[in-house]
Amino acid sequence: MSMKKQLLMFLLMTAVSAANAQSRMDTIRLADPTIFYDNRTYYLYGTGSPDGFAVYTSNDLENWKREDKPALLKSDSYGLKSFWAPQVFKYRGKYYMAYAADEHIAIAVSDSPLGPFTQRVHQPITEPGKQIDPFIFKDADGKLYLYHVRLDKGNRIYVARLKDDLSDIDSSTLMECIHADQGWENTAASGWPVAEGPTVTKINNLYYLFYSANDFRNIDYAVGYATSASPTGPWTKYMGNPILSRKNTGQNGSGHGDLFTTKNGELFYVFHTHSSENGVGQRKTAVVKLSNLGQNPAVISVVPGTFHYLQIKN
């Protein structure tokens, strides 16, 4: 075989090999995602199944595997439909999943982040009205707070003290945190303004409430944050909002996710985007790294060039 033919054959085989490798990788498609790190493993959950929540695992945030068994099935806990926006956390030696189903909030428990997450009694938080997007924050003093969205003249973010046994909230502590009242938060001038997807962290004794605004179908769906000296507010929105949007991801509908810290102590945000430039579809799961400029209060921003989708091997 001539050198020219050998070179052509090599290039052809290389192209086929690359194509095959690419075909074995798929972008994970979970909306409202969350990542939980425990014992050298990252666990990924999100909205994507009508029957509960799947779980994906990774050791490096790059190579993901979908586990064979779901983390939560509707037969094991509260809810018949609309399983949305899970959050997993560890408390008193057990693993808990807070999630929305039937537009109510429930909390299930497991001995493992893989699940199965179950409830002995299949019931939601008892507060009346429609509620979604739960996030449970444990403060340094051990007190627990349930941040969530209540559907009342728009999607509004509320907080309430959660009882120590996680059985319910203390209704007397329920109060509104924020609602969508700024131009970037309602670019469609909707009569039902949306602020949702809360996630909370504490930096230098200041509380940071990250949230998404606009309807998730809007290409301007985006993420901002507010700060407070108290876990219950009052909250002051950052003047530089939004910090994450299609302007710095290049993807429509960038939002609704969760903060997480890597094994190296780096702060990341996992979120979803629309499936394509022309449609919402099965939303795709992505991450970005966040920077803390070290000021007090800290200014949080997206590190340029860190946006990428999460991939699963077929």
Q: Which residues are marked as active site?
A: 32, 196
3-state helix/strand/coil string of 41-70 = EEEEEEECECCEECCEEECCCCEEEECCCC
Q: What is each CA distance from 295 to 191, 195, 205, 251, 304, in whole angstroms? A: 37, 26, 12, 30, 19
Q: What is each CA distance from 19 to 24, 65, 312, in whole angstroms? A: 9, 20, 16
Q: Is 131:141 a contact under the CB 8 Å cutoff?
A: no
Q: In Å, how far from its chain's centre is CA 5? A: 52
The β-bridge partners of 203 are 206
Specify whether the backbone of 11 is left (phi greater than 0), alpha (psi in -120 to 50) or beta. alpha
DSSP letter string, 133-200: EEEEEE-TTS-EEEEEEEESSSEEEEEEEEPTTSS-B-GGG-EEEE---SGGG-TT--SS-BEEEEEE
Q: Whole-angstrom Cα distance, residue 115 to residue 109? A: 8
Q: Is 32:44 a contact under the CB 8 Å cutoff?
A: no
Encode burial over 133-154: b for 16+ CB neighbours within 10 A, e otherwise: bbbbbbeeeeebbbbbbbeeeb
* Straight-line distance from the first to the last Cα atom of the chain, in angstroms, rounded to the nearest whole number: 36
Strands 144-151 and 131-138: antiparallel
